[in-house]
Amino acid sequence: MTGVHPAWLPAEAFRAVNSRRVAVHGEGLLVDTVRAEVAAAESSSPELVLSLAASPGSRGVLGDDGFTLERADGVTRIVAEAPAGLLYGFFHVVRLGEAAFGADRPVEVHRPALRRRMVDHWDNVDIHPIMGQVERGYAGGSLFWERGALRADLSRVRDYARLLASCGINAVAINNVNVHRTEAHLLTDRLGEVAAIAAHLRPYGIRTHLSVNFASPIVLGGLATADPRDPAARQWWEVTTRRVYETIPDFGGYVVKADSEGQSGPFAYGRSHAEGANMLADALAPHGGVVHWRAFVYNHRQDWRDRSTDRARAAYDHFAPLDGQFRDNAILQVKHGPMDFQTREPVSPVIAAMPGTRLAVELQATQEYTGQQRHVCYLAPMWSEVLRFQPHGDGGPAVATLAGSGGLVAVSNAGDDPFWTGHPLAQANLYAFGRLAWAPDADPLTILDEWIGLTFPDATPQLRQALHAMMDDSWRTYERYTAPLGVGFMVRPGRHYGPDVDGYEYSPWGTYHFADRDGVGVDRTRATGTGYTGQYPQPWADTYESVDTCPDELLLFFHHVPYGHVLRSGSTVIQHIYDTHFAGADEAAQIRDAWSAVGHLVGSDVDDRMRERLDEQVRSAAEWRDQINTYFYRKSGVPDAKGRRIY
């Protein structure tokens, strides 16, 4: 592991456990992993006992992943009903450190809120001419493939699995949802590579999933059609899937992006997405697998002159009518917002519209639209808002509950970079994702504190404080200097980094802000706009419909308003734009200052990487500030009330 930063599990993080006498009771692969982790000889007078309950066959309250923790008579005990629970219990003790060995503790029950906690890689085998090897990857190449082949040394995959398991992640989709020609073969003649990766993930309780091309029966099977009603196509999936399970008995299932951004799908045959998904679900069902079918389906060849088409509406329009038609092992995977992982979006209305369908909610840890792992942007506060949101209003189920049967998914932000995630602080997003998927009500700042403690076990109070000062509010800082009030995009087309206010304005992608000399924003009301607000149940349908009740931070997502419109905060829209952009760029500079006071407290490799990233963030934030402010000043002609410099 030379040259690779150990992320949040350096040897020092295990000090408290490693200095104790330990006993591990139970059998099986994951129990052996725990044994290897504690690296201690079995002791007859242990201070830490990790045991599988006497009859692991009968899973009771704890289920597959849960465990109990108790401390009495000088002994800390973890008990689980299944091996994965023991592993999660072990990492819980690591997180607690010395606190696990202090005062007595009555029995605590720990169980994950979401059953599947999954990371989706957008890794390609080959280097894609435009996207590189990892689509929207900002952390180097793939952890799995190198120069067109499976890596000869997969030991880093095992270390990765360990990191993931330590924060509760139990599923990984290893390849890009845009399944190109080479990658399609992972399903058949290159399946051995999938099996080899699975072998490195398995000891940490992680199941391997594969993104597959809907047209595989044609592309790989030589059939004339991939029509879900065609018996030969259906049989091809059955036979192929059986072979997958013969090779990888604990294979998790498929991930599918169909009829989206050029990927093939059931529309080609006039079939619904339920029919498409069910064909794959039927092939997987006898083996206990699931298909994650993505709801990210929209027209990416829109005409900007056409004001009746609204990309935000697309997922609901396609999928809500299909509720109840999906098989039990077909999970509809919905992006958390209706557009595409913008810094601020409302929660997708699809999540409330599918009571008869298993749902998974997809988040984006890779920072495609949030600074590409060059900017500090701790995303857990945003994710926490999403997970706690109640689509049916107060007292109704939260998003995390509605996704309970399907799971929570994050697009991965890790690669072969020595710091795993490009920006060393972006690791916190991966860690926080796992922790929120386990406990969606957990406080994001407490999770951050946990991550700091594990990553920098010897952190001084000064370092800890500086990291909080830099990260706690960094998502809102990023929001302040980029696209205002939920309007989204305004990024450079294709690359999605840096400002280009009109970059997408006349493009076919359906992402417009409609700024003119009088005002800005998208009218998505039922009264005068695209009708998107009507996709929400009450109270949100009305809350979003009215400019008087729409939350400020989403105003321009739902409404086109004049620059002089007074926000609920009391500021006008134009003044808000100026104020937040000056403030956001200043805050970026403060983030850099906070680091320069503590950088010497960590290794010089981390410090060097941090300084390079922070310089870029400060530069980029100033560029955003100046382009956005200048653009709106020139459009509106309204001067800044505080007389600051606008170009």
Where do contacts with ligand GCV occur on this chain (CB under 6 A)? 122, 135-136, 177-178, 257, 261, 296, 340, 368
How far is residue 355's CA from residue 337's CA, in Å, rounded to a whole number?
A: 18
Min CB(293)–ligand GCV separation in Å: 13
Indicate if the alpha-carbon torsion angle 252, 257, 263, 264 is positive or negative: positive
Min CB(438)–ligand GCV separation in Å: 24
Min CB(478)–ligand GCV separation in Å: 18
Min CB(492)–ligand GCV separation in Å: 12
Kindly report the number of other CB atoms within 10 A of residue 477's CB atom.
28
- Report in angstroms the alpha-carbon separations of 1 from 78, 88, 397, 419, 430: 30, 24, 44, 12, 20
345 counts as catalytic: no
Task: Mention every residue, 6+ apart, whose C-beta is less than 8 A from residue 507.
Answer: 304, 493
Find the helix or strand (DSSP H, E) in which 51 lies.
strand 48-52
Residue whose CB is less far from ligand GCV, 122 or 631: 122
Min CB(496)–ligand GCV separation in Å: 6
Closest CA to 363 of 112, 113, 114, 119: 119
Amino acid in position 118: M
Residue whose CB is less far from ligand GCV, 368 or 579: 368
How far is residue 489's CA from residue 497's CA, in Å, rounded to a whole number?
A: 10
Task: Mention every residue, 6+ apart, whose C-beta is less than 8 A from residue 113.
Answer: 400, 401, 404, 437, 438, 439, 440, 441
How far is residue 593's CA from residue 149's CA, in Å, rounded to a whole number?
A: 43
Please confirm whether the linkage preceding 539 is cis (ω < 30° from 0): yes
Residue whose CB is less far from ligand GCV, 257 or 625: 257
Residue whose CB is less far from ligand GCV, 136 or 313: 136
Size of the chain, expressed as the number of residues it contains? 647
Amino acid in position 220: L
Min CB(630)–ligand GCV separation in Å: 27
Residue whose CB is less far from ligand GCV, 123 or 417: 123
- Choosing from 37, 81, 135, 340, which is the catalytic residue? 340
Residue whose CB is less far from ligand GCV, 438 or 509: 509
Number of H helices, E strands in the chain: 20, 19
261 counts as catalytic: yes
Min CB(260)–ligand GCV separation in Å: 6
- Choosing from 65, 159, 227, 368, which is the catalytic residue? 368
- Report in angstroms the alpha-carbon separations of 473 from 217, 546, 630: 48, 29, 26
Residue whose CB is less far from ligand GCV, 177 or 614: 177
- Choosing from 246, 261, 328, 612, which is the catalytic residue? 261
Kindly report the number of other CB atoms within 10 A of residue 247's CB atom.
13
In angstroms, how far apart are the furthest CA atoms of the chain? 79
227 counts as catalytic: no
Min CB(503)–ligand GCV separation in Å: 13
Residue whose CB is less far from ligand GCV, 342 or 455: 342
How far is residue 424's CA from residue 139's CA, in Å, rounded to a whole number?
A: 10
Residues marked as catalytic: 261, 340, 368
